[in-house]
Each structure stands twice: as structure tokens, then as C-alpha cells.
């Protein structure tokens, strides 16, 4: 079965979620593009968008319509060639409207899992719950005569475990998109011990057509991205505990967030990133990873405490940030949650005092002015050389954080999670938008 035939009937599980909606958008556009090729004339392409809520599915269709217009506008010249034989499509607006129709026509929203019974390709983006995934896979596999291929968006669960528990006989691969899938270029590809070559080949072709960057990872819980991110969270949480004697909880969180964003030149501070992903999601990923990490305790009492007070973070349906460890106004942190008082403490009330205690620090160029700068390497080398020469409290925190990040990255290679140091750096550069990879020689 060739690539086009495999994509004629597809299902996306968790289609209305944050990840699933992006996968639906990408896949529906790819299927529509294939259907518009002359050699595929007369062939039917169907994408079953499966989720549990009618309201969520309605939201998905509204999202798709808005996003497909943007997609069409970007490739209007190409679409004019595709629709060259359509004399009724004169204006660009006509062509865009037709493409929107063609893409949305592919998508069939439904709450029925049975809709996946004829699909050859199943993209799964449901809750990061191992037992739930196994249950869903079995229901589809037992009732689908086509021996479907499963592409799971899990960011932490070992693929071999899923494969064997659901009796998929190698018809599964880890296919970890990064959020949001329609924008992020990175996909981590993780084979089980039994993954069939044709499943991997399809995944590689699909990624190529979507212009994604594929980074392979070994089948170790957490893989590369969360293998680094979760340990980064644990390190920051431990540092908060260490300095709480001199600082309040809110001040300590603010300091580590500032260090990890401003002085490590990242797009977000560590606790802002936890809020973005969701405190509950991060905690769940840790709980999945923990049983497989025999020499480490992948567990955060800090996240447990926050969740016990129903502090969760995450995002609203429109993509705006919910309050979590930090409180946000117009997308920017303005306060820190204090578990002692169960209130948000305004950053403005202690910012000047804590910033002063950092001591001498290098002049920071904001992440956005560094990340795509043609002279980035020179800027970073100069910056870290200055940082290395400083001995104050803030400089010490920053250097220790950078070195710990490097150690985490190197350990991912040593432990057989990543194939190479370059793969670790690619994941952090591409999936997390860091300005530089964690494995570097800046502080040597």
C-alpha cells in the first residue's frame, strides 16, 4: 500500500484537543492536497475527527476554518495552478474559499470510536494515561480488519509497552508532535522493539511532506524532550527549596524563573513553561516516567502541593494562558502563587529587592534578539565568557543551572535515550525554541 492509499482513510483520536486539533489541520490539508492531484481524481479521502464532546468538535471545526484560510493565503500562487481548470475561480478569494471547502470536506467530526474501524492510519492524541490508550487501541484493533497503523503522540509512555499490551504486533510508532503541531517543526519518532518498517517509512514520508524535522529517540520513558524538561523542572524546584530560607517562596520562584529565562536566554522561564504545558500534565508525565527511572526520583513535591490547591495552569480554548504558578496579565507574569497564604503575591512588591540581590550580571540581550541573529554564536560566546568571570549570587545560580542542563543532556545520550548530543540539541533548539543547545562549551 503506497502513501496516498494509506491516507485515504484516517482517524485522529482526541481531535478537538490542543494537540489533536493541530494534527487534524495538518493531516486534512495533506489529504486535500493529495485529492487535488490529477492522478488521484475520483479517489475519496476521509479524516474521522474523533472526540468525546459535540461542543469541542464544533470548536474544532471553527478552528479549522480559520486556520485553513491562513494556510490557503500562504500558498495562493500554488493553489491557482492546482485550480487552473476551474474557470469559475477567478479571484484569489474564490480560490481560497474553494480550498477551505476542500479541506473541511475531508473532515468528518464524530464522537463514535467506531468511525475508526476502516482507517489504515490512526493518529492518537488522547490523555497521557497508559491504561486509557491501551483500552482505546484494543477496541479499534479488534474491530478494524485493515490492521491499522497507530501513531501515538505520547510524550512519555514507552512504545514497546503500548505495542505489547495492545497486541499491535509492531503496528505502532511514537510520533511526538510539539505544541502547537501546526507551527512547531519538530517531531520525535520513537520505534518500539517491534515497529514494522512500513509504519516507520510512512511516518518519515508524512513528516517530509509536512516539512517537519524528525529526531529519532530510543524507547525510554520521557524520550528526549521531556527527558530534559522534567529534570529541568525538578532542578528548578530543588533550587527554590534551597534558597527559601533567605527568600520567600514567591521570591525564590521569581528568581529561578528570571534566571532560566533572562540569564539563560530562553523564550520562557522554567515555571512559565510549566504553566504553559499545565502543572497537572507535567506531574502526570513525571508519574509515567518514574517507574522506569530506577536511579532517579522523577517526582516533584512542589507540583503535588500546587495541584492539591487546584493550581493547574494550562491554556484557555483561545490559547491564552491560565494562572498557575504565576499569575498573568496580557500574557506576562505579574504575581507568584504562595501556598502558605493561597494567594498571588505581586512581583512588583519584591522585584527590586530580589533583582538587587542577584549582584553583578552580564548585560542580557533578550531571547528574541539572539535566537535568529546571524552573529548568534559570537554573542553567546561573549555573553557566557562574561558570566563565567562573575562570582555573585545570581551569576552562581545561572552558571549552575546551565551546567546542570548540560549534564542532563549528556546523560540522555549516556543512558541511551538520545542517539547523539546533536539530537538532544536539535530537540531543545527546535521543539523548545532555545537559542542554543544545552550541550555546549560556553562555560568550559
Q: Write down the pLDDT at residue 138.
A: 97
Q: Which fold has domain 225-431?
A: 1.10.1040
Spatial distance between the Cα atoms of 280 and 274, rounded to a whole number of angstroms: 9
Q: Which residue shows C-alpha cell 533548539?
A: 429
Residue 405, C-beta contacts closer than 8 angstroms, at least 6 positions apart: 228, 232, 235, 264, 438
Q: Write down the pLDDT at residue 244.
A: 86
- CATH homologous superfamily of domain 3-217? NAD(P)-binding Rossmann-like Domain (3.40.50.720)
Spatial distance between the Cα atoms of 95 and 83, rounded to a whole number of angstroms: 7
Q: Write down the pLDDT at residue 318.
A: 77
Q: Write down the pLDDT at residue 144.
A: 97
SS3 label, residue 106 = helix
Which has the closest alpha carbon to 287: 412, 129, 160? 129
Q: What share of the chain is helix, strand, coil (3-state, %, to 5)?
A: 50, 15, 35
| Domain-wise residue ranges, the chain | 3-217, 225-431
Kindly list the distances between the CA atom of residue 404 and the CA atoms of 29, 98, 309, in Å, as whole numbers in the listed order.
Answer: 41, 52, 30
Digit-coded pLDDT (tens) for 184-221:
999 999 999 999 999 999 999 999 999 999 999 999 99
Tell me which residues of the chain have a pLDDT lower than 70: none
Helix axis angle, 376-389 relative to 393-414, nearest 10°? 120
Digit-coded pLDDT (tens) for 238-284:
999 999 889 999 999 999 999 999 999 999 999 999 999 999 999 99
Kindly list the distances between the CA atom of residue 91 and the CA atoms of 85, 96, 205, in Å, as whole numbers in the listed order.
Answer: 14, 9, 33
Percentage of the chain exceeding pLDDT 90: 94
Pairing of strands 107-110, 343-346: unpaired
Q: Write down the pLDDT at residue 1.
A: 76
| Burial class of residue 291 in the structure, from the number of CB atoms within 10 Å of its CB (0-12 exposed, 13-18 middle, 19+ buried) | exposed
Please work out, in degrees rounded to the nearest 5, the angle formed at the alpha carbon of residue 205 by the alpha carbons of 203 and 208: 110
pTM over 0.85? The answer is yes
Q: Write down the pLDDT at residue 32.
A: 97
DSSP 50-100: E-S-HHHHHHHHHHHHHHHHHHHHHTHHHHHHHTTT-TT--SHHHHHHHHH
Assess contact for 349 and 338: CB atoms under 8 A.
no
Spatial distance between the Cα atoms of 406 and 340, rounded to a whole number of angstroms: 33
DSSP 371-436: TT-TTHHHHHHHHHHHHHH--SHHHHHHHHHHHHHHHHHHHHHHTTSBS-HHHHHHIIIIIS--SS
Q: Write down the pLDDT at residue 316.
A: 85
Amino acid at each position: 500500500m503506497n502513501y496516498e492509499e494509506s491516507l485515504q482513510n484516517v482517524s485522529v483520536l482526541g481531535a478537538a484537543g490542543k494537540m489533536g486539533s493541530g494534527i487534524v489541520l495538518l493531516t486534512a490539508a495533506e489529504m486535500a492536497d493529495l485529492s487535488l492531484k490529477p492522478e488521484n481524481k475520483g479517489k475519496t479521502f476521509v479524516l474521522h475527527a474523533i472526540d468525546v464532546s459535540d461542543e469541542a468538535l464544533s470548536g474544532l471545526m471553527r478552528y479549522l476554518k480559520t486556520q485553513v484560510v491562513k494556510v490557503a493565503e500562504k500558498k495562493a500562487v500554488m493553489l491557482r495552478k492546482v485550480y487552473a481548470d476551474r474557470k469559475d475561480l477567478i479571484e484569489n478569494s474564490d480560490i481560497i474559499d474553494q480550498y477551505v471547502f476542500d479541506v473541511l470536506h475531508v473532515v468528518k467530526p464524530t464522537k463514535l470510536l467506531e468511525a475508526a474501524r476502516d482507517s489504515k492510519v490512526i493518529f492518537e492524541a488522547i490523555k497521557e494515561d497508559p491504561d486509557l490508550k491501551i483500552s482505546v487501541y484494543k477496541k479499534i484493533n479488534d474491530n478494524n480488519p485493515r490492521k491499522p497503523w497507530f501513531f501515538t503522540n505520547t510524550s512519555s509512555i514507552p512504545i514497546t509497552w503500548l505495542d505489547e499490551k495492545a497486541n499491535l504486533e509492531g503496528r505502532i510508532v511514537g510520533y511526538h508532535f510539539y505544541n502547537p503541531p501546526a507551527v512547531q517543526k519538530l517531531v520525535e519518532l520513537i520505534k518500539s522493539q517491534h515497529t514494522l518498517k512500513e509504519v516507520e517509512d510512512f511516518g518519515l514520508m508524512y513528516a517530509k511532506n509536512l516539512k517537519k524535522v524528525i529526531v529519532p529517540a530510543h524507547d525510554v520513558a520521557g524520550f528526549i524532550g521531556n527527558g530534559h524538561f522534567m529534570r529541568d523542572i525538578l532542578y528548578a524546584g530543588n533550587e527554590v527549596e534551597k534558597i527559601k530560607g533567605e527568600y520567600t517562596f514567591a521570591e525564590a520562584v521569581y528568581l529561578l524563573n528570571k534566571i532560566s529565562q533572562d540569564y539563560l536566554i530562553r523564550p520562557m522561564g522554567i515555571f512559565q513553561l510549566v504553566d504553559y504545558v499545565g502543572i497537572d500534565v507535567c506531574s502526570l508525565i513525571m508519574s509515567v516516567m518514574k517507574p522506569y527511572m530506577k536511579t532517579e526520583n522523577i517526582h516533584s513535591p512542589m507540583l503535588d502541593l500546587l495541584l492539591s490547591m487546584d493550581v493547574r495552569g494550562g491554556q484557555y480554548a483561545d490559547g491564552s494562558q491560565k494562572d498557575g504558578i504565576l499569575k498573568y496579565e496580557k500574557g506576562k507574569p505579574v504575581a507568584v502563587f504562595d501556598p502558605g497564604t493561597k494567594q498571588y503575591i505581586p512581583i512588583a512588591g519584591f522585584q527590586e529587592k530580589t533583582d538587587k540581590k542577584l549582584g553583578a550580571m552580564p548585560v542580557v540581550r533578550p531571547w528574541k534578539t539572539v535566537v535568529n541573529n546571524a552573529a548568534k554564536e559570537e554573542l553567546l560566546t561573549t555573553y557566557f565568557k562574561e558570566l563565567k568571570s562573575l562570582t555573585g549570587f545570581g551569576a552562581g545560580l545561572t552558571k549552575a543551572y546551565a551546567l546542570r542542563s548540560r549534564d542532563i543532556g549528556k546523560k540522555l545520550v549516556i543512558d541511551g535515550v538520545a542517539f547523539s548530543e546533536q539530537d538532544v540539541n536539535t530537540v531543545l533548539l527546535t521543539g523548545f525554541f532555545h537559542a542554543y543547545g544545552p550541550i555546549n562549551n560556553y562555560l568550559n
